[in-house]
Copies of this chain bind each other. A is one copy, B any other.
């Protein structure tokens, strides 16, 4: 288990302020946040490149706060691969083993690791001659060959094109399954979360804002920042009452969680049903409104509905065409109470 305990670190414009996280053995843990949130600094502090200004780091029970990077048994893979350009792929992968053992042993380990990443045929090439995806595979192999107790990935897919990114994403899932290594992966791309993460932490400005499973983060954000980051387009200010409903303007919305007093309500635009005909209630929230605008956007259609407050509904084209709705039409909206998540208003509320 990797425990980051109240770690602070200031490095000029980037910093960590009192960050605490714990990552389980074998977990695939993703840290998500915009540029400048302190994600890379967090990884580099875990890896031992920086010593924290305050706080402790524990790896499998051992306090490694003051252990130098080379003795931590933590692997690091950067977005830009950082393969040593003057060495072949083989020498890159074997780099960390060089001082340890006999050539035959190294050769065996390197080949094993290269095979795991499907780059066995590239061992004699130099990094400059490889594609981005191949370089990233080599960088991962170089880290894995050391059999690290934790593997840190710094936006490993960001520098790759769409196709390669998808392949390597699947590859990462496979490798995680095959090796069982604890992985901490940082990214600003929400897409990676659903395919890979067991749990996610959302960071912002050096702070961890929320931690949870992808589903939790996605459906139950704890702040406007997280809600905006995961694409919840319907954010309403309201007043919670004791009976589990929230008053938003003239509407009363049944939400999955109840907080009395001023609250924010978040409803995902994909979780709202839209119809010209009345919808069966079935315990759902039902709202009546008028279509303001219809914006086709790629394969999706974004519909804006005025129902006292402005609702945004996202449908597929196919789904939209079946509703037969046009701007100006009166429509019925329905969403489950579990689709309406309530959290205290204001920025940066802690979980």
The reply on A316 being an interface residue by CB < 8 A is yes
Q: How far is the CB of A229 from the nearest CB of chain B, in Å? A: 10
Q: Is the Cβ of A191 less than 8 Å from the Cβ of B270?
A: no
Q: Is the Cβ of A318 less than 8 Å from the Cβ of B231?
A: no
Q: Is the Cβ of A298 less than 8 Å from the Cβ of B195?
A: no
Q: Is the Cβ of B298 less than 8 Å from the Cβ of A231?
A: yes
Q: How far is the CB of A111 from the nearest CB of chain B, in Å? A: 32
Q: Is the Cβ of A218 less than 8 Å from the Cβ of B298?
A: yes
CB-CB nearest in chain B for A339: B318
Quickly give the copy total for this chain. Answer: 2
The A contact surface, by secondary structure, is: mixed
Distance of A268 Cα from B272 Cα, bound (Å): 23
Q: Which residues of B contact A300 (CB under 8 A)?
A: 270
The reply on A12 being an interface residue by CB < 8 A is no
Q: Is the Cβ of A231 less than 8 Å from the Cβ of B297?
A: no
Q: Which residues of B contact A318 (CB under 8 A)?
A: 270-273
Known: A315-B316, A316-B319. A299 touches B269 (CB 8 A): yes
The reply on A190 being an interface residue by CB < 8 A is yes
Known: A194-B298, A218-B298. A270 touches B231 (CB 8 A): no
Q: Which residues of B contact A268 (CB under 8 A)?
A: 299, 317
Distance of A4 Cα from B231 Cα, bound (Å): 41
A residues contacting B by CB (< 8 A) are 190-191, 194-195, 218, 230-231, 268-273, 295-300, 314-319
In the complex, 28 of the A-B residue pairs with CB atoms within 8 angstroms, ordered by the A residue number, are A190-B298, A191-B297, A194-B295, A194-B297, A194-B298, A195-B297, A218-B298, A230-B298, A231-B299, A268-B299, A268-B317, A269-B299, A270-B299, A270-B300, A270-B316, A270-B318, A271-B299, A271-B316, A271-B317, A271-B318, A272-B318, A273-B318, A299-B314, A314-B316, A315-B316, A315-B319, A316-B316, A316-B319
